[in-house]
Chain A
Amino acid sequence: MTLLEIHEPGETPLPHAGEGSLAVGIDLGTTNSVVAIARDGTPAALHDETGRALVPSVVAYPEAGGVLVGDDARAVIASEPRNVVASIKRLMGRGAADLHAVAGVLPYEVEPGTGETDMVKLRIGGRARSPVEISAEILKALRARAEAALEKPVERAVITVPAYFDDAARTATRDAARVAGLEVLRLVNEPTAAALAYGLDKGSEGLYAVYDLGGGTFDFSLLRLEKGVFQVLATGGDTALGGDDFDRAIAERMLGERTRDGLADEVDETAVKAALALARHMKEQLSDRDLTSGRLEIAGVPSFHTLTRDEFEAMVGAYVARTLDISRNVLADAGMKATDIEGVVLVGGSTRVPLVRKKVAEMIGKPPLTDIDPDEVVALGAALQAEALTGGGDTLLLDVTPLSLGLETMGGIVEKIVPRNTPIPAQLAQDFTTYQDGQSAMAIHVVQGEREMVADCRSLARFELSGIPPMTAGAARIRVSFAVDADGLLTVSAEERTTGVAQRVEVKPSYGLSHEDMADMLYDGMDNAEVDMNLRLLTEARVEARRGILALEAALAKDGKLLSEEERAAIDEARARLETAMEGESRDEINAAAEALEALSKPFAERRMDRGIREALSGMSMGELENRVGE
């Protein structure tokens, strides 16, 4: 009997993933990502030097080599559009069969996976890269930011996923974390994390809804909050609906206007990306004004476009209406009415769109909760959960399966084993039987989705239970068991029960990654280990130098008058040289400049010490001094 892949990504503890390292919360978003940490129940997003918490979920593989993430990656969109990937989350766990869902979204060469359940790859930066690999780069950058901010190794994380993410996408997310060297403590659903951030803050009780409209995904969840228990009652969503759709609608309109005005554009990636960037800017402008305009330049030919808020709302009205339809379905699933809701939490940058706020408020008859930054709220909740999981908190998160899980039966009909909104972890089983005399094997096809026909659902895994002893049709009792763990990941097993001989096959749906892919990526990780290590040392050198400068500043403020003008000038010059070196990439230069500054400020430090001693001694009588010395 062949055992199909049995491995739990993340179950094998990573080397060094010890108790001493810090655990962070990560919101790995479609458009932006955020890393946060919680201490003593207070979460905070980690910022870069310029105070920004958001890391654009953009990865670039520039011609010059290396990998860029975030704003740095965005900066090369104009010059090297083909080497930049955005919104990769939309492709997490997607196979060839899902390509229609993203067709036209990404101007890359997409390579379908080799098998039915293999993930697609993008040809970028000279080779095929999987979404897992690209997401791992974002996670690595977040981890580096956290380590720089906290000045400690970060090896464990709670990572959030849309509640509606299917099994393939969850597995892919876990794999990406592994590639980035992070042990995933738990995958938490984004809306649940958002509720956690709000609930702990306010000690709220009652029925709450989370309306999460991000760049590429929509989720609506209903939770009951009661004495530290967060019980998800029902959830629903759409993995291909979000603010990116708004941008695309605006971009298409502008490109249409150019065509109408007789501009013969060749619409290539550069044009699309320029139009999308302008569209996003115009959309954001319309959040607090009624009219916006922009200049779009394609191949050196400029055009001017205006957009009113009314026009924009007419363009995106259908998308917003769809989110409300989904929300009403979720309410009905839980047997609740919109008026039962105590409050609705808004999550995701797209909830800044006034039309969205207005429609949500109309639906529940109350203004939505917006006091926590909708871009950060998910990461803050994840950080709280990371702290609770490592430090032991009293909060309890009870989540559910977002989609029904089932098996293919005769005629391509789905038999649901785990209905949607089942609390997890869950273990459910159903008995099946043979339909032919002497049948010795049974094909088992695991699917996910709400539709009745297999063809309309997502195929997760296929395996065969073989070695069934010869029996008449209908005599065998094949028990198929589904186990969904607390991360929402599925394991399926099957056994024949009448013979007493347990035939058992375990399947981990392994779309996501083939073994070879995973091996390749881990190997790549080793190739890049030197680069990573250098980056780490550089970061450490910068942190150390900054600490020195801060100490010097404090000393100068207090005792600056101990220095002559020339001495002061020399110190200021050395300090400026160090600051320049810190902006560069050379660790040696930083260290050399730091040493030079330290050498110059040494006499200053000695004088301060002398003075400190004099001050301590002044005012003491001779007798006191002698007593002291005698002590």
Chain B
Amino acid sequence: MDHFARLGLPAALDLDAATLDRAYFALQRQWHPDRFVSKPPAERARASGEAASVNEAYRTLKDPLSRAFYMAERAGVELPGDGKTIDDPDLLMEAMEAREALQDAGTPEAVDKLAAEARQDVQKALAGLASLFLANDRAAIRKALLRLRYLDKFAEEARARRMNIERSTA
């Protein structure tokens, strides 16, 4: 079953976090294995399966980035696997420059500034995605998602870099 349908929600990129949580909690109240402890094994197994599917739907839709990837998959956009080389020259250039800037950032504040910029870029890219999905422009969706994936990785690297700086100055 489609993850959106499983949670009883419309397939939308701008899903409201509180609405998603409410739907998720209600379904877990119904299916969580803790509610089936004294039930026969067959019922317990079914509940466990339902609860796992609800968890998978929630996990996929909760994070805006993973939700965007899921919607792209539903729309038939072909994406290269994670960790594959970047085939977009503009993105390649952006990534190299950003990485250099991160290497040069010597204080937590400098790293935070780069991370904040990356987060803003993520928000902008996510905001732009909605119209691409409406137009079903697969090539543009693909390009935007690859850039989002890179920005997400960059945020992760910034986090590691910040921790290294803090640890070495602590």
A19 to chain B, nearest CB (A): 8
Stretch of B2-10, B45-53, B93-101 with 4 or more beta carbons under 8 angstroms from chain A: B45-53
| A605–B41 alpha-carbon span in the complex (Å) | 55
Q: Are B52 and A389 in contact (CB under 8 A)?
A: no
Return the chain A residue nearest B55 by Cβ.
A423
Instruction: Write out the residue numbers on chain B whose beta carbons fall within 8 Å of the beta carbon of A231.
Output: 25
The contact of B25 among A229, A328, A426, A428, by CB within 8 Å, is A229
Instruction: Write out the residue numbers on chain A whose beta carbons fall within 8 Å of the beta carbon of B56.
Output: 426-428
Q: Are B37 and A186 in contact (CB under 8 A)?
A: yes
B43 to chain A, nearest CB (A): 14
Instruction: Write out the residue numbers on chain A whose beta carbons fall within 8 Å of the beta carbon of B49.
Output: 427
| A325–B163 alpha-carbon span in the complex (Å) | 9
Q: Are B25 and A389 in contact (CB under 8 A)?
A: no
| A11–B33 alpha-carbon span in the complex (Å) | 14
Q: Are B33 and A388 in contact (CB under 8 A)?
A: no
| A226–B28 alpha-carbon span in the complex (Å) | 14
Instruction: Write out the residue numbers on chain A whose beta carbons fall within 8 Å of the beta carbon of B167.
Output: 325
| A597–B153 alpha-carbon span in the complex (Å) | 79
Instruction: Write out the residue numbers on chain A whose beta carbons fall within 8 Å of the beta carbon of B53.
Output: 427
27 contacts between A and B (CB under 8 A): A19-B38, A185-B37, A186-B37, A226-B21, A229-B28, A329-B163, A332-B163, A390-B38, A392-B35, A396-B25, A396-B28, A396-B34, A397-B32, A422-B55, A423-B58, A424-B55, A425-B33, A425-B48, A425-B51, A425-B55, A426-B56, A427-B56, A428-B56, A483-B48, A486-B32, A486-B33, A486-B34
B101 to chain A, nearest CB (A): 20
Most buried by B among A426, A483, A486: A486
> If the complex has contacts A328-B163, A398-B28, A426-B56, are A389 and B51 also in contact, measured as CB distance less than 8 A?
no
Residues of A418-464 contacting chain B, CB below 8 A: 422-428
| A428–B52 alpha-carbon span in the complex (Å) | 9
B170 located at the interface, meaning its Cβ lies under 8 Å from any Cβ of chain A in the complex: yes
B149 located at the interface, meaning its Cβ lies under 8 Å from any Cβ of chain A in the complex: no
Q: Are B34 and A483 in contact (CB under 8 A)?
A: no
A263 located at the interface, meaning its Cβ lies under 8 Å from any Cβ of chain B in the complex: no
Return the chain B residue nearest A156 by Cβ.
B37
| A425–B56 alpha-carbon span in the complex (Å) | 9
B111 to chain A, nearest CB (A): 13
| A199–B24 alpha-carbon span in the complex (Å) | 20
6 nearest A-B pairs in the assembled complex, by CB-CB distance = A427-B52, A486-B33, A423-B55, A425-B52, A389-B37, A425-B48
Instruction: Write out the residue numbers on chain B whose beta carbons fall within 8 Å of the beta carbon of A226.
Output: 21, 25
B113 located at the interface, meaning its Cβ lies under 8 Å from any Cβ of chain A in the complex: no
Instruction: Write out the residue numbers on chain B whose beta carbons fall within 8 Å of the beta carbon of A329.
Output: 163
Q: Are B29 and A396 in contact (CB under 8 A)?
A: yes
A101 located at the interface, meaning its Cβ lies under 8 Å from any Cβ of chain B in the complex: no
B159 located at the interface, meaning its Cβ lies under 8 Å from any Cβ of chain A in the complex: yes
Q: Are A390 and B28 in contact (CB under 8 A)?
A: no
| A42–B29 alpha-carbon span in the complex (Å) | 22
| A229–B18 alpha-carbon span in the complex (Å) | 14
A265 located at the interface, meaning its Cβ lies under 8 Å from any Cβ of chain B in the complex: no
CB-CB contacts of A202-230 with B at 8 A, as 1s and 0s? 00000000000000000000000011010
- How many chain A residues sit at the interface, stated as a range, is 20 to 34
B52 to chain A, nearest CB (A): 4
B79 to chain A, nearest CB (A): 16
Q: Are B37 and A390 in contact (CB under 8 A)?
A: yes
Return the chain A residue nearest B21 by Cβ.
A226
Judged by DSSP, the binding face of B is helix
| A396–B35 alpha-carbon span in the complex (Å) | 9
B-to-A contact residues, CB < 8 Å: 21, 25, 28-29, 32-35, 37-38, 41, 48-49, 51-53, 55-56, 58-59, 159, 163, 167, 170
Q: Are A396 and B48 in contact (CB under 8 A)?
A: no
Return the chain B residue nearest A421 by Cβ.
B59
A321 located at the interface, meaning its Cβ lies under 8 Å from any Cβ of chain B in the complex: yes
B76 to chain A, nearest CB (A): 19
| A227–B29 alpha-carbon span in the complex (Å) | 12
B56 to chain A, nearest CB (A): 7
A485 located at the interface, meaning its Cβ lies under 8 Å from any Cβ of chain B in the complex: yes
A415 to chain B, nearest CB (A): 11
Instruction: Write out the residue numbers on chain A whose beta carbons fall within 8 Å of the beta carbon of B28.
Output: 229, 396, 398
Q: Are A321 and B170 in contact (CB under 8 A)?
A: yes
Instruction: Write out the residue numbers on chain A whose beta carbons fall within 8 Å of the beta carbon of B48.
Output: 425, 483, 485-486
> If the complex has contacts A11-B41, A396-B25, are A186 and B34 also in contact, measured as CB distance less than 8 A?
yes
| A321–B170 alpha-carbon span in the complex (Å) | 10
| A226–B21 alpha-carbon span in the complex (Å) | 10
| A106–B28 alpha-carbon span in the complex (Å) | 43
| A392–B38 alpha-carbon span in the complex (Å) | 10
Q: Are B37 and A426 in contact (CB under 8 A)?
A: no
Q: Are A422 and B59 in contact (CB under 8 A)?
A: yes
| A310–B28 alpha-carbon span in the complex (Å) | 49
Instruction: Write out the residue numbers on chain A whose beta carbons fall within 8 Å of the beta carbon of B51.
Output: 425, 486
Return the chain B residue nearest A229 by Cβ.
B25
The contact of B34 among A11, A19, A397, by CB within 8 Å, is A397
CB-CB contacts of A302-334 with B at 8 A, as 1s and 0s? 000000000000000000010001001100100
Most buried by B among A229, A422, A423, A426: A423
B114 to chain A, nearest CB (A): 16
